[in-house]
Structure 1
Amino acid sequence: MADLGLDLKVEREEFSEDIPEDRVINSSPAGGGRISPDGTVEVTISKGKERYIIPTLQGLKIEIAERLINDNKLVVGEVIEEFSSEFPKGFIMRSSPVAGERIKRDSQVTLYISKGIEQIGISSYQGKSGEQALNELTEAGFDVETKYVFSEDLPIGAVVSQLPRTGDIDKGSVITLTVSKGSEFVFIPNLFSLTQAMAVDTLKDLDLKVIIKKVGDKKIKVVTNISPKVGERVKRGSTVTITVG
């Protein structure tokens, strides 16, 4: 403009979606117009596209987040509640668009708010299959620990007790199942005429210890005596003496 003997005056700056930053949007007079030799051309300069940064909202209460969003010339859009084990109830987990993204003025920001830890109701599995309880509780999102005890009332594999027992429990909590190993007692089986190997295997299957007494010089020895007697009720882990000959 100086080469033409004209003055240039920046009348104002404004945002533009089309004209790059620091470029002229329009002038007065417009291009091709007439002006006196020492006149002044007034121009409007582009500030570029109007964009505002999404603030960091994670971990804030919604009231504070709304204020920050409005201060950044944006508006709160949809508020979506989701369960979370990481964020307390009522706190923001994330936003969409995400923090740091630049978006147009008055654009909506979706907020995802924690509903806290999801709670799931459980019923009693006492007397039911331990395997069924394990599968259902694991599928529901619980961690399951299993302990085994002898029970005179419940068969092998049945649930003797559980902790917590019933009610609404935080998803991801640990539930302890106590499962029956069956009776602590067994009955001495009839082992007479069985070979030593067969008799020993039978007793070990019943969690019994074995002492073997050998008599005679037969090549193939069979059971000739048992102590305690056949049919007697003994604790698992007890010792049974068999005589083979």
Structure 2
Amino acid sequence: MGKVHRWGMAVAFVVIIASAYFGIRTVFVEDKSATVPGMVGMQLVDAVEALQKEGLLAKVDQVDSPERADTVISQNLPAGEKVSKGKVVIIRVSRGGSVLPIPDVRGLKFEEGVKRLSEAGFKVDKIIRVTDKLKPAGYIIAQNPAAPQQVAANCMVNLLVSTGGTGGGAFVSVPDLKGQGIDVVTQVLEQIGLTVGSTTETPSAEVPAGTVLRTNPRNGANVPEGSQINLVIARAPRPGEVSPETPPAYDQDPQRAAAVKTVVIKNTEPSDIPTKLPDIPAAGSQKESAKEEPKAEPAKAPQPEKPAPAVPQKTAKLRYQVPPLTKPLSLKIELTDDTGTKVIKDDMANGSEYISMNVPFTGQATITIYLGGDFVWQDRFN
């Protein structure tokens, strides 16, 4: 009996050790990770099957979408992510339903645009009114969703409507003022809603003294109405002073230039370079030598312009949320201040994306946002 008892104890001990081994292997050694498959665009049946192959579970949410019924339009976990087996993955599936072509109502009067949308089976949601000098008051500037495209029949449409060019936000093109006197320039700028800013002088023979040589911002630039235009005024160069636009003295001496052209080194072997230019025959006589031209005095370096007084920079706090989109659209943000117009962001944007930027500017500034190529938002900063 004692021997049988000892054998029983040994077997029980082996069973315990084996159970512990397999338990530890199951918990700590065996790889239970799974890879989330990419399911966007797949049909629901195929998506669930792909999850099951990875040992994952599916939770299905049906949503309104222009995609055909049972098409996966999004998933809560990105494709390729490593997760534990048995993890629940949420997939959003199109409920289907009818889709309609949305009409293009840009450029129409607000009432006419709303009527056309209603006749096509759509309703207007948000109405945003902005100043726009290029569009008369009451006309539609942009819409979201944009046309042409197929959208769900119950989709709400947002409209951007112009209030006209009053109330700020209008843009003015800087005219060409070169060669004009300060009195005329002041009058012209005031007539188009601009004012004269700082004035500096520089030596120049390109335009009459006392007239405008150039402007900052340059002519043709679009600036907000009420902006200041800085002027550079020409003055007569002082004796010995060369203006930045005047070519060097040796370029103005035709005889010296002709003499330089007569110096030709024919030998390919090293030789002494002539130190004296040959005489140029006088016109009508081959024997008489041309009189040597007096040496031009070296031109004095132009006096540097006095820099315009520094204008302190300000900061515009830009906060904008992209409306819901069915697909990413291009987003371009432009800043126009006293220094001109520049693009501060040009990228693709997703629906409901929140844009937060602190933008430095000089003087007065206007920030304009274009979504999908359409003007959708504008604000002015002082």
What TM-score comes out, normalization by structure 2 length?
Answer: 0.25
More strand by percentage? 1
Ranked by relative contact order (alpha carbons within 8 Å, sequence separation 6 or more), the top structure is: 1
Larger radius of gyration: 1
What TM-score comes out, normalization by structure 1 length?
Answer: 0.37
